[in-house]
A and B are shown apart, each in its own frame.
Chain A
Amino acid sequence: MPSNKEFVKFDKVDKSYDGKVLVVKDLQLDIAEGEFITMLGPSGSGKTTCLMMLAGFETPTHGEIYLDGKAISSIPPHKRGIGMVFQNYALFPHMTVYENLAFPLRVRKIQKDEADKKIDKALSMVSLQGFASRMPGQLSGGQQQRVAVARSLVFDPQLVLMDEPLGALDKNLRESMQYEIKHIHESIGVTVVYVTHDQSEALTMSNRIAVFNDGKVQQLSSPDELYEKPVNSFVAEFIGENNTFVGEVSDISGGKCKIKLSNAEILANPISVKGKGERTTVSLRPERALINPSEKMDNIHKGKIEEVIYHGDHTRVRINLLGNPDFILKVPNSSSNLDIKLGNEIKIGWNSEDARALDPK
Chain B
Amino acid sequence: MSSETKQILTTDGIPLEVSLKKAERKNKIKAFLLVAPLLFFLIITYVFPIGDMLLRSIDDKMVTQMLPKTFKAMENWDGQELPEEEVFAAFHEDFIKLVEEKREGKLSTQLNYTKNGFKSIIKKLRRKSKSFEEGNYKEQIMSVHKRWADVEYWRAIKRRAPEVTNQKYLKAMDMYTNEEGKIVNVDEDRRIHRVLWLRTLEIAFFVTVFCFLMAYPIAHLLATLPMKYSNLLMICVLLPFWTSLLVRTASWMILLQQQGVVNDFFVWSGLVEDDNRPEMMYNKTGSYVAMTQILLPFMVLPLYSVMKTISPSLMRAGKSLGGTPFVAFWKVYFPLTIPGIGAGCLLVFILAIGYYITPALVGGASGTLISNQIAFHMKSTLDWSFASAMGLMLLSGVLVIYWLYNKIVGIDNIKLG
Contact = CB atoms under 8 A, between A and B. Distances in A.
B322 A92 contact: no
Given A77-B316, A90-B313, A92-B314, A103 B335 contact: no
Contact of B316 (A80, A86, A93, A104): A86
A272 to B, nearest CB: 40
B336 A107 contact: no
Contacts of B80: none
Given A78-B328, A93-B336, A94-B335, A107 B317 contact: no
A55 B325 CA distance: 14
B324 A78 contact: yes
Interface in B308-349: 311, 313-314, 316-325, 327-328, 331-332, 335-336
A70 B193 CA distance: 70
Interface in A104-162: 104, 107-108, 151-152, 155
A252 B335 CA distance: 69
Contact of A78 (B314, B322, B331, B336): B322
Contacts of B324: 78, 107
The interface centre, meaning the residue of A78, A83, A84 with most chain B CB atoms within 10 A of its CB, is A78
A108 B317 contact: no
Interface in A230-266: none
A155 B320 CA distance: 11
The interface centre, meaning the residue of B314, B327, B328 with most chain A CB atoms within 10 A of its CB, is B314
A151 B314 CA distance: 13
Nearest to B320: A84
Contacts of A94: 335-336
The interface centre, meaning the residue of A76, A84, A103, A151 with most chain B CB atoms within 10 A of its CB, is A103
Given A78-B328, A103-B331, A90 B322 contact: no
Contacts of B336: 93-94
B275 to A, nearest CB: 52
A88 B323 CA distance: 19
Interface string A292-333: 000000000000000000000000000000000000000000
A240 B403 CA distance: 63
Q: Is the interface of B mostly helix, strand, loop or mixed?
A: helix
B313 A87 contact: yes
A108 B323 CA distance: 8
A273 to B, nearest CB: 45
A103 B313 contact: no
A42 interface: no
A153 to B, nearest CB: 11
The interface centre, meaning the residue of B317, B319, B320 with most chain A CB atoms within 10 A of its CB, is B320
A155 B313 contact: no
A125 to B, nearest CB: 17
B226 to A, nearest CB: 11
Nearest to A154: B321
Interface in A59-89: 76-84, 86-88
A12 B319 CA distance: 26
A269 to B, nearest CB: 45
Contact of B318 (A56, A82, A103, A152): A103
A205 to B, nearest CB: 21
A155 B313 CA distance: 19
A78 B319 contact: yes
Given A93-B336, A103-B331, A107-B327, A88 B322 contact: no
B143 to A, nearest CB: 82
Nearest to A55: B320
A83 B317 CA distance: 9
A92 B317 contact: yes
A3 B208 CA distance: 59
A57 interface: yes
Interface in B66-98: none
Contact of A90 (B316, B323, B335): B316
Nearest to A80: B320
Nearest to A94: B335
Contacts of B328: 78
The interface centre, meaning the residue of B316, B321, B323 with most chain A CB atoms within 10 A of its CB, is B321
A77 B311 contact: no
A81 B313 contact: no
B323 A103 contact: yes
Contact of B321 (A87, A88, A93, A103): A103
B323 A78 contact: yes
A90 B317 CA distance: 6
Contacts of B322: 78-79, 81, 104, 107-108, 155
Nearest to A148: B317
Contacts of A103: 318, 321, 323, 331
Nearest to B333: A92
A78 B319 CA distance: 5
Contacts of A80: 320
A327 B323 CA distance: 55
Contacts of A87: 313
B313 to A, nearest CB: 4
A77 B320 contact: yes
Interface in A1-34: none
A231 B328 CA distance: 44
A84 B317 contact: yes
Contacts of B319: 56-57, 76-78
Contacts of B320: 55-56, 77-78, 80, 82-84
B224 to A, nearest CB: 14
Nearest to A93: B336
B321 A107 contact: yes
Contacts of A152: 321
B348 to A, nearest CB: 24
Contacts of A92: 314, 317-318, 331-332
B71 to A, nearest CB: 64
B341 to A, nearest CB: 13
Nearest first, the 5 closest Cβ-Cβ pairs linking A and B are A90-B317, A104-B321, A84-B320, A90-B313, A77-B319
25 contacts: A55-B316, A76-B319, A77-B316, A77-B319, A78-B319, A78-B322, A78-B325, A79-B322, A81-B322, A83-B321, A84-B316, A84-B317, A84-B320, A86-B317, A88-B311, A90-B311, A90-B313, A91-B317, A92-B314, A92-B318, A92-B332, A94-B335, A103-B321, A107-B327, A108-B322
Interface of B: 311, 313-314, 316-325, 327-328, 331-332, 335-336
Given A78-B328, A90-B311, 19 more contacts: A78-B320, A82-B320, A83-B321, A84-B321, A86-B313, A87-B313, A90-B314, A90-B316, A91-B317, A92-B318, A93-B336, A94-B335, A94-B336, A103-B321, A103-B331, A104-B323, A107-B321, A108-B322, A152-B321
